[in-house]
């Protein structure tokens, strides 16, 4: 079987560097090129690995490609995905899938109509603690899920992330989607109603929200709540967390998804450090995408998965404006 020919479009999102390293480690992959309007963002990796550079992603899409990985600013996800689909190219798109329901539906329809696959980048599904929790729930270890709460608290990223015109929102959008995808996956149910609060509490200079609390009712009756924020300051020993507490009729599961760490305290390091040694979730995500495309199988995390999780955050902003619960648009 020939190598899978992949292009990378934009390194605006820092996850692109990890995805690139993951792709470079897979023998079945050939990286055709990297497209980014800002050459400085990719100059080092282009030179280091001898990868062709394109200023315009449209030029890259003219090359013989099987798939692309999109890590642009959120506002461009739909445009680039649809352009790739029109060329018959499969897509792995960074989260959130999009910043509006209409554009996300258009992305999904474009890929469907051109018979290509659209995968949403939700690597947290591949963390060991999350996978063990999913298996325990599926076995019935804690009975029926009654409620589930989660956190995704990180450091304010700055740059285009805090420019609403490019990002589509703040922490409520940026950090809800990961945990909401895990909640949907573990409960096997879609959210149907959202009540949310969001504000700028930790850095008044930001133009977007940096804190929020989002409450969800699922179709199967499960209740969920997510603490989503950019509350971690620079002295904190890690960028953030992803945790879940899954409450069932027969027991409770507590998940610290990024808890595979060593704690380091020494004068040379200054503040305490948490050195992560655990699973490379990005590598597992990229491998799953590559395997699905090469074998003609369905990608494990679909465009619909991306849409359903982003829809919760978008409904959360509506709820914040009205002060009322909001039914999630299908």
Is there a single domain that holds both residue 61 and residue 210? no
Residues 319, 257: Cα–Cα separation, whole Å: 29
Q: Does the pLDDT of residue 235 top 80, yes or no?
A: no
Is there a single domain that holds both residue 130 and residue 112? no
**What token pair was written down for 274?**
């948490």
CATH of the domain at 168: 3.30.360.10
Residues 209, 229: Cα–Cα separation, whole Å: 8
- pLDDT tens figures, 13-51: 999 999 999 999 999 999 999 999 999 999 999 999 999
Element (H, E) at 114: none
**Which residue, among 235, 234, 232, has the nearest Cα to 271 in the 3D structure?**
235
Confidence of residue 238 (pLDDT cuts 50, 70, 90): confident
* Residue 325, pLDDT score: 97
Residue that is last in its domain, among 61, 92, 123: 123
Is there a single domain that holds both residue 159 and residue 35? no
Confidence of residue 234 (pLDDT cuts 50, 70, 90): confident
- The stretch 308-314 carries a mean pLDDT of 97
Residue that is last in its domain, among 77, 105, 123: 123
Please indicate, yes or no, if residue 288 is contained in any of the structural domains.
no
State the angle between helix axes of 303-322 and 171-187 in degrees (0 to 180), rounded to the nearest 10: 120
DSSP strand pairing (223-229 vs 145-153): parallel
Q: Does the pLDDT of residue 66 top 80, yes or no?
A: yes
What is the sign of the dihedral through the CA atoms of 149, 200, 124 and 241? negative
- pLDDT tens figures, 176-195: 999 999 999 999 999 999 99
**Which residue, among 41, 14, 45, 321, has the nearest Cα to 195 in the 3D structure?**
321
| Per-residue CA distances from 180 to 42, 220, 323 (Å) | 31, 15, 21
Q: Does the pLDDT of residue 300 top 80, yes or no?
A: yes
* Residue 259, pLDDT score: 85
């Amino acid at each position: 079987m020939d190598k899978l020919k992949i292009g990378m479009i934009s390194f605006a999102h820092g996850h692109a560097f990890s995805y690139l390293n993951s792709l470079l480690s897979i023998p079945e992959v050939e990286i055709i090129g990297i497209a980014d309007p800002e050459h400085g963002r990719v100059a080092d990796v282009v030179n280091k690995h001898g990868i062709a550079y394109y200023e315009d992603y449209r030029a890259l899409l003219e090359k013989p490609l099987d798939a692309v990985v999109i890590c642009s600013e959120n506002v461009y996800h739909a445009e680039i995905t649809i352009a790739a689909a029109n060329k018959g190219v499969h897509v792995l798109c960074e989260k959130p899938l999009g910043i509006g329901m209409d554009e996300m539906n258009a992305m999904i329809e474009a890929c469907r109509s051109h018979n290509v696959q659209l995968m949403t980048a939700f690597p947290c599904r591949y963390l060991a603690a999350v996978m063990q929790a999913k298996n325990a729930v599926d076995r019935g270890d804690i009975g029926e899920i009654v409620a589930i709460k989660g956190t995704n608290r990180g450091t304010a990223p700055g740059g285009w992330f805090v420019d609403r015109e490019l990002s589509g929102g703040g922490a409520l959008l940026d950090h809800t989607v990961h945990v909401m995808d895990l909640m949907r996956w573990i409960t096997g149910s879609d959210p149907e109603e959202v009540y949310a609060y969001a504000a700028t509490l930790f850095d008044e200079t930001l133009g977007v929200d940096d804190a929020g609390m989002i409450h969800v009712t699922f179709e199967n009756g499960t209740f969920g709540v997510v603490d989503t924020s950019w509350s971690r300051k620079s002295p904190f020993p890690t960028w953030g967390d992803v945790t879940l507490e899954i409450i069932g009729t027969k027991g409770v599961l507590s998940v610290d998804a990024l808890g595979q760490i060593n704690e380091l305290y020494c004068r040379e390091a200054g503040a305490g450090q948490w050195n992560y040694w655990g699973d490379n979730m990005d590598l597992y995500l990229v491998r799953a995408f590559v395997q699905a495309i090469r074998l003609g199988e369905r990608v494990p995390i679909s465009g619909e998965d991306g849409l359903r999780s982003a829809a919760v955050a978008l409904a959360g902003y509506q709820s914040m404006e009205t002060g009322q619960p909001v039914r999630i648009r299908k």
